[in-house]
A and B are shown apart, each in its own frame.
Chain A
Amino acid sequence: MPTDSPTEKLLVVPCSGIGKVHGLISREAVYRITDNLMPEQAETLCLALLVTGDPEAREKVRRRPCIAVDGCPKLCARKNIELSGSKAALGVRVYDTLKRHRGAAFGSPTALSDEGWAAVDEVATEIAQTAGQIVGRTPNPEP
């Protein structure tokens, strides 16, 4: 996949699913990466722009490494990236991480519990570790 110059940021795209807590966890995990763990190396993109076929957004996902962060098996982030003519360098399935904590109450699609926020940090840290290899740099240490 052609890439822009090394200074272009990695794209991390959450599904932000509105119906389940998994969607909120995917969204907040991405913000954790773009705002705290990898602010110089990663940014996000409105998934809705890919739904409408926005030319600028499609061009971005074709030219930059992308990470799709999906809450549920519908894989909306990953599929919309692929339907835009690209392929995710990494596809993260939040539900796989949450399965490791059976019985935990993560919150609601509107607000996360303490366990939900812990899951956000866990998902974000795992992504940042792998994303660091994609961009060739070490992510910020977790504060």
Chain B
Amino acid sequence: MSKVGIIACSGEEIPVGTVSRLATRRVLELLRPQSTVTLCLPLFLAGEEQERRFAREHPTITVDGCDRLCAKRGTEQHSGQVAASLVVTEILGDRAAKCHRSARALDKSDEEAVWIVAERIAAEVDSLAPTAPQAAPAQSPRSPSCACSCGSPPPEGTLKINGKTVAVAVLPLVFDQLRKQGLEPGEDSADRLLEMVRVYHAIEPEEEPLYGDALVAAYQEFCGQPPGDTIAPSRPTSSR
């Protein structure tokens, strides 16, 4: 089954353009990595026919920052009809005014906005591809998961399991997201770490204790603490 395409406007002039871009990346990398693909909108003019076929080959969701609808209009002009059109200002309402356009200035308001829009995109992906794997574990850690038409691979982390090095797709992104949600590193983080990683990486039941230990240590290191330190119990994390 063809992957669902997402085209963001990435509008440079206004913060909601940045939100469109970041939310699209969030879906590609973390929320629906196996069922989505993207393309740079300007390639519809600057690229080749193979790029212009994008919306004909993939059911396409456009994500526009504002009501000028450049992604929707550009896709329909040069590639094909879109399956769904989302507009960041409509999704966020008043929250949009608190966003920033440069990554130097991003704060909690931007992070919240990106999550809201990303989850909206993911819901649209699910409606277009109900039988596509949404958050199914990857069959092979090295199989392509999220894809960009330019071929950029998703970020990957490694764990030591039974003396072997195992690659886990999107591990750095999972750690980053959990840290932002306030998950404290330490032994009590194991359950939450396993719950998240299990979405993207197959873990056999008998291997769960090993993965749990490895994830706790890796997360501690990610958070800048030496593995083995005693950390206070994690506080409950709020759902997104």
Contacts and interface: CB of A to CB of B under 8 A. Distances in A.
B223 to A, nearest CB: 16
Nearest to B17: A46
Contact of A19 (B71, B74, B148): B148
B46 A75 contact: yes
B216 interface: no
A73 to B, nearest CB: 11
A121 to B, nearest CB: 11
Contacts of A27: 10, 12
B43 A52 contact: no
A17 B46 CA distance: 12
Interface string A54-78: 1000000000000000001011110
Sorting the interface of chain A by its residue count into under 10, 10 to 19, 20 to 34 or 35 or more gives 35 or more
B87 to A, nearest CB: 13
A134 interface: no
A109 B12 contact: no
Contacts of A104: none
Contacts of A10: none
Contacts of A49: 68, 70
A48 B164 CA distance: 47
Contact of A48 (B41, B101, B104, B150): B41
Interface residues of B, number: 41
A37 interface: no
Contacts of A101: none
Interface string B142-163: 0000001111100100000000
Nearest to B38: A18
Interface string A8-42: 00000111111110011001101100010000000
A20 B152 contact: yes
What 9 A-B pairs are tightest by C-beta distance, nearest first?
A48-B70, A76-B42, A19-B148, A19-B150, A79-B46, A46-B11, A51-B74, A76-B46, A31-B102
Given A76-B47, A80-B45, 9 more contacts: A15-B40, A16-B12, A16-B40, A28-B104, A31-B101, A52-B74, A54-B70, A76-B43, A108-B155
Interface of B: 8-14, 17, 21-22, 24-26, 29, 38-47, 68, 70-71, 73-74, 77-78, 101-104, 148-152, 155
5 contacts: A18-B39, A31-B101, A46-B9, A51-B45, A52-B77
